[in-house]
Amino acid sequence: MYNKLLKPISLLIAAAMLLPTVSCSNKKSDDIFSDIKLSESEQSWSNKNEKYSELLETYGSKKCNGVMAVATDDDIVYLYCEDTAEKDGKTPVSQDTVFDIASVSKTFTAVCILQLQEKDKLSIDDTLDKYFPEYEKGKDITIYNLLHMNSGIPDYMNNPDPFWNISGAEAADKQLSDILQDKTTDEQFLEALYNAPLMFEPGTQFSYSNTNYRLLAFIIEQVTGMKYCDYVQKNIFDKCGMKKTTSMAKDDMTYVPVDFEEQAAYGFTDENGYPVCPNNSRGDGGIHSCVSDMIAFDRALFGGKLLSKNSMEILLKDDDSYCCGLNQDKNGYSHDGSSLSCSANNKIIESDELGYVYVITLERTGNSVQNGADIIAEPLEDTGYTRGTVKDGVYINEYADIKMTLPEGYESIEVEDLPSVMSGFEKEDKRIESAKRCDNLFYDGNGSGNAIEISFLNTKLGVPDDSDYTEEEYLDDYIELMARAGEDDEDGWTIKSKDINKAILGGKEYVRAKSVIDYHGNTEFNYFARKIDDELMYIITMSINNDESVSDFEKLFE
């Protein structure tokens, strides 16, 4: 996953590159929902107990492209199931439908590590050279650094160039395809690790990296002599009664993927849209589960059945933006994940009145299943749009008449037709956002979290009743859109400030909007919009997470 602070830019571009999950057994789960009957009109059920009224005001009308549940340690409070069938074409989607939970798997890996510390099998203060003697840089990196995402090791999935010592989009696509088809061995992975540079001194910065949690899985296998999937099965799934949940397996998921044709063509999935890499999916991903099992896991974890009180304190310690396999939120903890065809969110709310409240969403991704959306498939077709190019560190888009020098260390993601992810957006918002396409995204490979996104919006399609839709109107609408999406998101953000004025980039006048978003810390976003013809609006988004100023970015266009 890209640094989580990039989420409000393309919400998230990393969804197309996250490691999909996989599994190791398949049994029928005990039904804690046996007395629940969904309403036929809404496909949902709500607990009528008055003590849950406030909770239902927040979650009681939520829907998704899959299954969502709200529960406490004692009750189910809310359940929604999409009105569609599982892959057998007959069984309705339910709380037992198995999805790919992607990076939510990291919570399980962190729990395994702390269990092993309790058994004196390892210490989180151990350095990595103890487990990987050939890893010279490992003398300065601890298991603690891996857990808290501050090791400095580059992400083998989302920052492949430095990790695999490759260059360019074609090489990255080839490497990604090899990983997702299980053609990359553990030995090749470790060889790349030993030669990869560190992005920063261990322990000094936060940078989300899937590599950290894959290495934790390797360590679990070393100290136990068991495969990762066998250890997590015995010590978590079985203890929690998670009878449909699996790790490092294929062909066990029961949801139906959508919009996977391009991924399948690249070999990232099989012909039906399911992942095909059980070996390479462990630690950082690799778990398939359902809502009923995830509730059982959360109840067991926060009920003290998996870890001691001391280990729970370690698990939940926030060290510069990340706990151990969890993020700390305003009122609890959460983790989300996205694979090539699924997204997942596990949120734990701490409530004075109700104790722990668990909000779990498992859904399939793809624009065709966006509820109520009027999705625009090809918004830039039949317009004057041409894709920008990147050469020798310079981005040029001739149609927009713009030139930008990339900052040192920035890397380009060249992805065709990269749409915004619109989960949680209202219908009108989805239409506007689906009329926009990302031309290119540049992110700081040094791990600062800073990024620059270049997008084009077809205003005639996005706002068909207003051909005079201005830059000011779009930016005002977009920031309000982001505020609404943040309120609705399970791991939401808040807009702290907004300011719209004029600005000059590369000698051309833009409308500029500045907002500060609170998402595990403040991030400044600057949006620059300029209409370049009767249809197209050109939009530049800059996210700043450190001491750099927007003026430093503006100089790139001189």
Spatial CA neighbour of 326 closest among 309, 359, 300, 348: 348
Residue 362 lies in a domain: no
Residue 227 lies in a domain: yes
For residues 305 and 299, what is the distance between their CA atoms, to the nearest angstrom? 9
Give Cβ neighbours of residue 357 (< 8 Å, ≥ 6 apart): 55, 70, 71, 72, 77, 332, 348, 349, 351
CA 29 to chain centroid, in Å, comes to: 27
E strand or H helix that includes residue 314 = helix 309-315
Residue 46 lies in a domain: no
For residues 222 and 216, what is the distance between their CA atoms, to the nearest angstrom? 10
Residue 80 lies in a domain: no
For residues 4 and 449, what is the distance between their CA atoms, to the nearest angstrom? 8
For residues 402 and 506, what is the distance between their CA atoms, to the nearest angstrom? 7
Domain check: are 292 and 428 in the same one?
A: no
Tell me the residue ranges of DSSP E strands in 388-459. 389-391, 394-397, 402-405, 410-413, 436-444, 451-458
Domain check: are 273 and 383 in the same one?
A: no
For residues 380 and 418, what is the distance between their CA atoms, to the nearest angstrom? 12
Domain check: are 505 and 538 in the same one?
A: yes
Pick the last residue of a domain from 304, 321, 353: 353
Domain check: are 400 and 515 in the same one?
A: yes
Pick the last residue of a domain from 326, 353, 380: 353
How many structural domains is the chain composed of?
A: 2
Domain check: are 346 and 382 in the same one?
A: no
Through-space distance between the first and last CA atoms of the chain, rounded to whole angstroms: 32
Domain check: are 270 and 402 in the same one?
A: no
Residue 78 lies in a domain: no
Spatial CA neighbour of 456 closest among 557, 530, 514: 530
Residue 527 lies in a domain: yes
CA atoms within 13 A on the CB side of 362: 32
Domain check: are 147 and 252 in the same one?
A: yes
pLDDT in tens, the chain (558 residues): 333 333 333 333 333 333 333 334 333 345 678 888 898 888 999 999 999 999 999 888 888 889 999 999 999 999 999 999 999 999 999 999 999 999 999 999 999 999 999 999 999 999 999 999 999 999 999 999 999 999 999 999 988 999 999 988 788 888 988 998 889 999 999 999 999 999 999 999 988 999 999 999 999 999 999 999 999 999 999 999 999 999 998 889 999 998 788 778 877 888 888 888 877 789 999 999 999 999 999 999 999 999 999 999 999 999 988 999 999 988 899 999 988 888 899 999 999 999 999 999 999 885 333 333 344 557 787 788 888 888 888 999 998 999 999 888 888 765 443 333 444 455 556 677 778 888 888 888 777 778 899 999 988 877 766 557 899 988 888 888 777 766 655 555 666 667 888 989 888 999 998 888 776 667 788 899 999 998 899 999 988 766 666 787 788 887
Domain check: are 392 and 535 in the same one?
A: yes
Token pair listed for 3: 């640094």
Pick the last residue of a domain from 353, 382, 400: 353
Residue 88 lies in a domain: no
Token pair listed for 182: 């299980």
Residue labelled with tokens 């007959």 = 90
Which value, to the nearest 10 degrees, does the dihedral of the CA atoms of residues 309, 310, 311, 313 take? 90
**b/e burial code for range 359-395 (CB count within 10 A of at least 16 → b):** bbbbbbbbbebbeebebbeebbeebebebbebeeeeb
* Cα–Cα distance list, 310 to 282, 352, 358, 413 (Å): 26, 22, 22, 42
* Structure confidence at residue 224 (pLDDT): 98
Q: What is the CATH number of the domain that holds 175?
A: 3.40.710.10
Q: What is the CATH number of the domain that holds 409?
A: 3.40.1000.10
Residue labelled with tokens 């001491």 = 547
Q: Which domain holds residue 303?
A: 4-30+95-353
pLDDT, tens digit (0-9, with 9 covering 90-100), for 337-392: 988 888 899 999 999 999 999 999 999 885 333 333 344 557 787 788 888 888 88
Domain check: are 398 and 504 in the same one?
A: yes
Domain check: are 193 and 305 in the same one?
A: yes
* Cα–Cα distance list, 533 to 311, 505, 513, 538 (Å): 59, 18, 21, 10
Helices (H), 319-380: none
* Structure confidence at residue 381 (pLDDT): 77
Sequence letter at residue 234: K
- Length of the chain equals 558
CA 544 to chain centroid, in Å, comes to: 19
For residues 472 and 190, what is the distance between their CA atoms, to the nearest angstrom? 50
Domain check: are 377 and 344 in the same one?
A: no
Q: What's the pTM value of the predicted model, to 2 decimals?
A: 0.70
Domain check: are 345 and 451 in the same one?
A: no
Residue 325 lies in a domain: yes
For residues 359 and 297, what is the distance between their CA atoms, to the nearest angstrom? 12
Residue 439 β-bridge partners? none
